[in-house]
Structure 1
Amino acid sequence: MGTIMFEIVEMPEDKASFYRVLVAQAKALTEGETDAVANLANVASLLFTTMAEVNWAGFYIARGNELVLGPFMGNPACVRIPFGRGVCGTAIREQTAQVVDDVNAFPGHIACDSASQSEIVIPFSEGGEVKAVLDIDSPVTSRFDEEDQKGLEALVELLVERVQFDQLCY
């Protein structure tokens, strides 16, 4: 097998354009690759290296009644999160994105990194069942907004098509 060359292009400053480029880059990174861990690891790296004011980006995988740490970039993280606890567990329980301006004001927030001040979590659903979440933290309060949510939901839609969740869930 040959080496795949991939270059991260300069990201546009306006959010809508940023997310169009980000999704296109994620599509190129995952094109033809069937390994779920490899795809999620590359996308976590892409997010961490291209998004401004982010100190953690990665995935938690649904297993039983909890989320288990998956591929990520950033400081070491909490390994297991029960459904319904913290921002990630709430996203799973409610099956909706969570945009939290101030994690310190979020009831039941799980502080894996004390530097994190805001967070966005987007759940992955397949066949009506939540399989994982995309979790991104920022050291800046109110870092994420509706445009981030829309752009990251488009990324998650791409990943739902590209990731074989049966490789991750047991």
Structure 2
Amino acid sequence: MFHKESYLSSKEGNYQLVIKQLEALLHGETDQTANLANASALLNQFLSDINWVGFYLFKNDELVLGPFQGLPACVRISFGKGVCGTAVSEQTTQVVGDVNQFPGHIACDAASQSEIVVPIIVNDQVFGVLDIDSPNRNRFDEIDQKYLEQYVDVLKKFI
């Protein structure tokens, strides 16, 4: 019989494991590009039902495409535009169950139906965002948000 509590603890346990894997993977490495590339590859391997995972980096008042896994993506996103730009301007994680209902959504991949974007703030400055898309609606929940924010907190030590 399925028990929601065991599923949730298993999902949380898996996230805790991938965060430990991130720490081990990045330990001792100082190259920012290499660390972001490996961080996106690790999430791509770990997460199910996603079609894009990567980073946009804040440069000259806009987000510019960084290391990622998935199909080619939009290269530049204006501050405050789309889910990524909103995450940066509000400096809060955005969990969007249906991107088609998000005002100003930027459709880089028509297959994407839901999205989570975690802002990356380093020394009180916007560094960029972690962006993850899914072809399924309502793919991301509060557990994903909690642990992806922790993932970003660990990553910040290596960028």
TM-score, structure 1 as length reference: 0.87
Shift of 1:13: 7.9
Residue 156 in structure 1 maps to residue 152 in structure 2: yes
How many pairs does the alignment contain? 152
Query: Aligned-residue CA RMSD in angstroms?
Result: 1.2
* 2:48 corresponding residue in structure 1: 52
**1:90-109 equivalence runs, <5 A:** 90-109=86-105
* 1:8 corresponding residue in structure 2: none
Residue 30 in structure 1 maps to residue 26 in structure 2: yes
Shift of 1:58: 0.2
Residue 82 in structure 1 maps to residue 78 in structure 2: yes
Shift of 1:65: 1.0
**Equivalent-residue separation in structure 1 for 2:24 and 2:123 (angstroms):** 25
Shift of 1:157: 0.3
Percent of residue pairs bearing the same amino acid type:
57
Distance 1:21-1:144 versus aligned 2 partners, 3 A rule = same
Task: Name the SS of the counterpart of 1:142 in structure 2.
Answer: coil
* 1:15 corresponding residue in structure 2: 11
**Equivalent-residue separation in structure 2 for 1:98 and 1:130 (angstroms):** 15
Moved more, 126-135 or 71-80: 126-135
**Equivalent-residue separation in structure 1 for 2:97 and 2:137 (angstroms):** 6
Q: For 1:29-65, what per-residue CA distance to the aligned partner results, in whole angstroms no more than 9, with x for missing partners?
A: 1010000000000110111111010100000000011
**Equivalent-residue separation in structure 2 for 1:92 and 1:153 (angstroms):** 14
Residue 112 in structure 1 maps to residue 119 in structure 2: no
Q: For 1:88-112, what per-residue CA distance to the aligned partner results, in whole angstroms no more than 9, with x for missing partners?
A: 0000000000000000000000000
* 2:57 corresponding residue in structure 1: 61
* 2:119 corresponding residue in structure 1: 123
Shift of 1:113: 0.4
What residue ranges of structure 1 are gaps of 5+ in the alignment? 1-11, 164-170
**Equivalent-residue separation in structure 2 for 1:33 and 1:127 (angstroms):** 20
**Equivalent-residue separation in structure 2 for 1:18 and 1:99 (angstroms):** 20
Shift of 1:69: 0.2
Shift of 1:14: 2.3
What residue ranges of structure 2 are gaps of 5+ in the alignment? 1-7
**Equivalent-residue separation in structure 1 for 2:11 and 2:125 (angstroms):** 29
